[in-house]
Structure formats: C-alpha cells, structure tokens
Chain A
Amino acid sequence: AQKVTQAQTEISVVEKEDVTLDCVYETRDTTYYLFWYKQPPSGELVFLIRRNSFDEQNEISGRYSWNFQKSTSSFNFTITASQVVDSAVYFCALQGSSNTGKLIFGQGTTLQVKP
C-alpha cells in the first residue's frame, strides 16, 4: 500500500523564522515521484516541487529547500525567513509507477505565519 504521513497538523511561526514541514511516505514501487503542493485559502492547489526516486539531490530555490532521504523515506520541506504570504496548507504527495496518474496526499500541514 502507498501512504503519506504528515505528522504536523498545524505550525505557527513568527515572520522571518525558518520552518520545516515533515513528510514520511510508504511505497513498494522502486520508481516514484514525490511532490509538495501549497493550498492557500482560495482552495487551488499550487505545485511547488517534484522529485523522482532516483534524484536524491537536495535543492534550494529562493526561500524554499527540500531534503529527500530514501533511507528514512522522508521528503521534508523548509521555508527560510517565512513571510505572512506563506500562510497556507501544505500537502506532500506520492505518485508510484504502479499507479500512474494517481496522487496519494498526506493530511496536510497548516502553516500560520504571524507578523
């Protein structure tokens, strides 16, 4: 079975603090993709990043960075110097090669950034 777990339900930080969102996944597929999506109050899911199972290189993009570790089945997401506009629900998702097109989402982490 495939599963995504986001243990943090809600996180509250003060603007300019760094914040890390945790994601742990389960899959038996050897090839799979991992995603992070942002969902602002408007409801639309905004794509942030995609990583395939063969690419463990971590990346920094502006204030965002990702830490993918296959050994621990984790795909964590960090926002550096958070801003009020970062307030949203963040979802981690998994797509396995055995079930192409189907995204398995975690429960989401609500991030509140206070001024």
Chain B
Amino acid sequence: DAGVTQSPTHLIKTRGQQVTLRCSPKSGHDTVSWYQQALGQGPQFIFQYYEEEERQRGNFPDRFSGHQFPNYSSELNVNALLLGDSALYLCASSLRTVYNEQFFGPGTRLTVL
C-alpha cells in the first residue's frame, strides 16, 4: 500500500521563476492538503483540495495556486518566487469523511536563490 508520494525531492529556483510541485495521495484517499514549513517553524496550511476544487485556504497570496486531478493527485504552483518561499512543502492526504486522519508525504525542499 503506497503512502503519500511527492516529487521532486529537492528543487532550486531563482527569484521570479515559477515552480510546480506534485503529490500523489495514499491509496483510497480523495483529499489533498498542502503545507509550507519554513526552516525552524511549524507547518502552515496553504490549501486543501477535494473533488478537484479548492475547499479551504490558509493565509497565502494568490501566487500560490493548486489543482487536483480526477485521480486525486494534486499540484501546487507558486508564481513569481520570492526568497521567502524557500521552505519544505508538505502534502497530506486523507479521506473527506475522515478528515482527522491526515498522512504526510516526505516533502519537497524548495530553495529560492
């Protein structure tokens, strides 16, 4: 039973560029949430997708957008990268009906130079 997978593992971009991160949920899960974890901080909720729509959003600018595909996998897009976007981006999957069980992936480490 595959857990949550994320790609790529590491990514280096320069300011102003755009980046796409990918997440495949745990088998059987239909909901994907994204979190940003800056160095030395706790993860912060970016948004959640269910039925291919954004259902909840945290306090992040519109530069952060996402998408969920029919197979429940998800992408996180960040436009006009800033140095402050450097962080570990974590994806979590769950069942919409069992929202209190979120399983996290290994994360994507994004470095913006």
Interface residues of A (CB under 8 A from B): 4, 33, 37, 42-47, 50, 52, 91, 93, 95, 99-108
B contacts, CB < 8 Å to A: 31, 33, 35, 40-45, 48, 55-56, 58, 88, 90, 92, 94, 99-107, 109
Q: Which of A33, A45, A101 contacts B48 (CB 8 A)?
A: A101
- Chain A residues whose C-beta falls within 8 Å of the C-beta of B109 in the assembled complex: 43
| Sample of 16 further A-B pairs with CB below 8 A, known A103-B45, A108-B40 | A43-B107, A44-B105, A44-B107, A45-B90, A46-B104, A52-B100, A91-B42, A95-B99, A100-B100, A101-B31, A102-B33, A105-B42, A105-B43, A107-B40, A108-B41, A108-B42
In angstroms, Cα B55 to Cα A100, docked, is 10
Give chain B's interface secondary structure class.
strand
**By the criterion CB–CB under 8 Å, are A102 and B43 in contact?**
no
Q: How far is the CA of A44 from the CA of B90 in the complex (A)?
A: 8
Q: How distant is the Cα of A50 from the Cα of B102 in the complex, in angstroms?
A: 11
Cα A106 to Cα B44 in complex, Å, equals: 9
A100 to B104 CA separation, bound complex (whole angstroms) = 16
Q: Assuming the A-B contacts A99-B56, A101-B56, are A44 and B48 also in contact, with contact meaning beta carbons closer than 8 angstroms in the complex?
A: no
Identity of the chain B residue whose Cβ is nearest the Cβ of A108 in the assembled complex: B42
When chains A and B are docked, how far (Å) is the Cα of A93 from the Cα of B104? 14
In the complex, A100→B88 CA distance in Å? 23
Which residues of chain B are within 8 angstroms of A45 by Cβ–Cβ distance? 43, 90, 92, 104
| Closest CB in chain B relative to A54 CB, distance in Å | 13
Closest CB-CB distance, B42 to chain A, in whole Å? 3
A91 contact set on B, CB distance < 8 A: 42-43
Q: Which chain A residues border B92 with CB–CB below 8 Å?
A: 45, 103
- Given A43-B107, A47-B103: A105 in contact with B55 (beta carbons within 8 A): no
Decide: A44 and B104 in contact? CB cutoff 8 A: yes
A41 → chain B closest CB, angstroms: 12
**Do residues B99 and A107 form an inter-chain contact, with CB atoms below 8 A?**
no
Closest Cβ–Cβ distance, residue A82 to chain B (whole Å) = 22
Closest B residue by C-beta to A9: B40
